[in-house]
Amino acid sequence: MSDAPPAAPAALRPRLDATAYQALTDAARRDPKRYWRKEMGRLDWIQTPNEIFDDSKGWFADGKLNASINCLDRHLKQRGEQTAVIWQAEDRDTNLHLTYRELHARVCRMANVLRHQGVKRGDRVAIHLPSVVEGIVGMLACARLGAMHVVLFGGFSAEAIADRLADSGAVLAITANVGRRGAKRIPFKVTMDAALALRPDALAVRTVLVVEVTDDPVPMQAGRDLLLAPLLADASTECAPESMNANDPLFLLYTSGSTGKPKGIVHGTGGYLLWAAYTQEMVFDHQNGDIFWCTADIGWITGHSYVVYGPLANGGTVLLFEGMPSHPGPGRWWEVIQQHKVTTFYTSPTAIRALMREGDDVPARYDLSTLRVLGTVGEPISHDAWAWFDDVIGQKRCALVDTWWQTETGGIMISPIPGAVKEKPASATLPLPGVRPLLLDEKGYPIEGAGEGILCLDGSWPGHALTIWQDDALFKTTYLAPYPGHYFTGDGARRDEDGYYWITGRVDDVINVSGHRIGSAEIEDALAADHAIAESAAIGIPHDLKGQSIVVYLVPRHENADGLAERAMKIIAAKVGRYAVPEIIHIVPDLPKTRSGKNVRRLMRKIACGEREGFGDLSTLADPGVVKVLIEIVNRGD
Ligand code: 6R9
């Protein structure tokens, strides 16, 4: 132990001020091609693009690059010995510091293993892993070979995994024997086996590579399953990267929309990587020596852009934590920040609300003075959670960035920029330079000045998703058709007199539970397959901790509905995943419908929230009497 006095708390040294922000915003608006021609210099190109943007060809169409070169090789000369990834294990005493040189070697080994297993440019590789280094390594190894990674969220059920394996046509899967969640063990491999057994004919997976996270035994199928560690040990630490076109897909990532079918959002290589790097530097005031901790799972777009691609493209140091916020005690995250001297901490409002409940004395026990920038993402943050994060964690000296964006945008779109855009508590504030949001009224007319409406985006930006995997028509109908000429986000927002944006939540049938997007239709489709269920409707209602929780109205096919609610819960857990299991199921004789047979979700939401009047004109309903029946049932708590 040294007797040196504690270092002074980290101070903000932002690169941009308000004038510079305005100048960049103006420049990007005046001449976007010129602006992005300059910005594309953030990346190392194998062939520098001449074409910057074209409506039909997209971004940087004639450019060539490899994402793994940008995240690894190009840093070796300057920062080969700098830590790229700090991995903190579930148990306190185990952690790993990988330098850029070591990470590069691991990625090459993994890429060689994949290549040896027959993975080629353009193939899809599924990754279903807990928060272990092999996740990052696997993603970058795919990028090196020009294969697309398809990272599957840890909470997916076997059926959900099977659907995504079938849709993506993945030829290989990387999984783990188990994942550790506190004292619990999550059987990743067993779930993968179950997924593969569900549709043996429809799936293209030939090989399953298994990471042994613990000594727990793991069932292996001869001829298909291989332990990864011995293969890596034998593989070479050099692997020539593929030269990819800027618009060759880098990855697919499944997300939920208002249709039941999972959507494989496809991101390209050049535009996406530039967007991840640009936004990570700007929003998080990225500087040499930063320790950047984004708590998102890599199975989420936030993990792709801000655990892997953004910070590593910028030559940063990222922290990956295997464990949970509250294990073994409620201060575990704060302990990790203290232990690894985290400077930049990016998490979700759900996590903040849960940690806030533990009381202010928990974080007070830890030294959080290294923190400089705090960020949130995934759902609207309430004023009290924002104030607590700012005050108790940031000790009022950190920048706090509420970042709005989506899987489809590739990276952050609306957010404060430390030093340049003044924060307002609980507002995502202003668009980044190069982003042009607009609000439309219900008829699709733009709202000028202050007002509330549907959030759309004008023009393109480099991080714009390329398409939906094998369903370009759905991509167009979902995002481009609703308001021709604009990109439709699915969110509502308010703009105040200073032009600041306040996101109000989804305006489509997507429910946001603890930052997880769940389509109403995903739940309804899962239930529709059951012979005892005539019909159902899933809606989201406000929830103190999770942001929203799910309520399902269920119409039984037969009079005797005993045990039906429990069965419905099981069906949802099996077909979608435990994270999508509703808080409440109401068994009802009928659903409120318009005369044309559309479910009136607005009414169901109001009733589930306990509202008993103010339902507006009910005369458009096929059977207005159903409202009274629903209210009685909800009141009784059935
Ligand atoms: C990055 C990510 C996107 C949806 C988005 C919106 C909600 C995200 C938000 C926010 C309010 C924020 N959302 N950030 N709502 N304030 N700062 O979350 O991607 O999983 O695709 O979800 O999340 O509703 O449309 P994704």
Quickly list DSSP for 382-431.
Answer: PHHHHHHIIIIITTTTSEEEE-B--GGG-S--B---TTTS---TT--BSB
- Using the mean position of ligand 1's atoms as its centre, give its distance from the Cα of residue 395 in Å: 26
- Using the mean position of ligand 1's atoms as its centre, give its distance from the Cα of residue 161 in Å: 23
Q: Are 102 and 138 in contact (CB under 8 A)?
A: no
Which distant-in-sequence residues (6+ apart) come within 8 Å of 48 by Cβ? 40, 63
Amino acid 300: pLDDT: 95
407 pocket-lining for ligand 1 (C-beta < 6 Å):
yes
* Mean pLDDT of all residues in 360-373: 97
* Mean pLDDT of all residues in 345-350: 96
Amino acid 200: pLDDT: 87
Q: By alpha-carbon position, which residue is closest to atom 16 of ligand 1?
A: 380
506 pocket-lining for ligand 1 (C-beta < 6 Å):
yes
Taking the CA atoms of residue 621, residue 622, residue 628 and residue 631 in that order, the dihedral angle to the nearest 10 degrees is -70
Q: Are 249 and 269 in contact (CB under 8 A)?
A: yes
Amino acid 168: pLDDT: 97
409 pocket-lining for ligand 1 (C-beta < 6 Å):
no
Question: Nearest to residue 555, comparing CAs of 599, 607, 621?
Answer: 599
- Using the mean position of ligand 1's atoms as its centre, give its distance from the Cα of residue 309 in Å: 19
Amino acid 6: pLDDT: 57
406 pocket-lining for ligand 1 (C-beta < 6 Å):
yes
| Res. 5: pLDDT tops 60 | no
Amino acid 11: pLDDT: 74
| Res. 3: pLDDT tops 80 | no
| Res. 596: pLDDT tops 90 | no
Write out the DSSP string of 512-558. Answer: EETTEEEEHHHHHHHHHTSTTEEEEEEEEEEETTTEEEEEEEEEESS
User: What pLDDT, in 10s, does the model give residues 130-151?
Assistant: 999 999 999 999 999 999 999 9
Distance separating alpha carbons of residues 230 and 218, to the nearest angstrom: 15
Q: By alpha-carbon position, which residue is closest to atom 12 of ligand 1?
A: 404
- Using the mean position of ligand 1's atoms as its centre, give its distance from the Cα of residue 379 in Å: 5
| Res. 46: pLDDT tops 50 | yes
Q: By alpha-carbon position, which residue is closest to atom 11 of ligand 1?
A: 380
Amino acid 612: pLDDT: 86
**What angle, 0 to 180 degrees and rounded to 10, lies between the N-to-C axes of helices 564-575 and 520-528?**
120
428 pocket-lining for ligand 1 (C-beta < 6 Å):
yes
User: What pLDDT, in 10s, does the model give residues 210-241?
Assistant: 999 999 999 999 999 999 999 999 999 999 99
Amino acid 338: pLDDT: 98
Amino acid 546: pLDDT: 92
* Mean pLDDT of all residues in 251-258: 90
Distance separating alpha carbons of residues 465 and 259, to the nearest angstrom: 18
Amino acid 79: pLDDT: 97
- What would the two tokens of residue 286 be? 């990225």
User: What pLDDT, in 10s, does the model give residues 446-484?
Assistant: 999 999 999 999 999 999 999 999 999 999 999 999 999
Quick one: pLDDT band at residue 2, thresholds 50, 70, 90? very low
User: What pLDDT, in 10s, does the model give residues 314-336?
Assistant: 999 999 999 999 899 999 999 99
Task: Read off the pTM.
Answer: 0.93
Amino acid 7: pLDDT: 63
Amino acid 359: pLDDT: 95
Q: Are 298 and 131 in contact (CB under 8 A)?
A: yes
255 pocket-lining for ligand 1 (C-beta < 6 Å):
yes
512 pocket-lining for ligand 1 (C-beta < 6 Å):
yes
Quick one: pLDDT band at residue 182, thresholds 50, 70, 90? confident
Omega prior to 328 cis, within 30 of 0:
yes
- Using the mean position of ligand 1's atoms as its centre, give its distance from the Cα of residue 285 in Å: 21
Element (H, E) at 376: strand 373-376
Quick one: pLDDT band at residue 4, thresholds 50, 70, 90? low
* Mean pLDDT of all residues in 390-408: 97
- Using the mean position of ligand 1's atoms as its centre, give its distance from the Cα of residue 618 in Å: 33
Quick one: pLDDT band at residue 638, thresholds 50, 70, 90? low
DSSP state of 371: -
Amino acid 617: pLDDT: 79
* Mean pLDDT of all residues in 623-634: 92
Residue 494: CB atoms within 10 A of its CB come to 17
Report the chain's mean pLDDT, rounded to a whole number. 94
User: What pLDDT, in 10s, does the model give residues 551-588?
Assistant: 999 999 998 889 999 999 999 999 999 999 999 999 99
Amino acid 618: pLDDT: 83
Amino acid 1: pLDDT: 41
The single residue listed with the structure tokens 């479910």 is 599
475 CB-side CA count, 13 A? 17
Please give the share of the chain, as a percent, with pLDDT higher than 90: 87
- Using the mean position of ligand 1's atoms as its centre, give its distance from the Cα of residue 230 in Å: 40
- What would the two tokens of residue 349 be? 């409002």
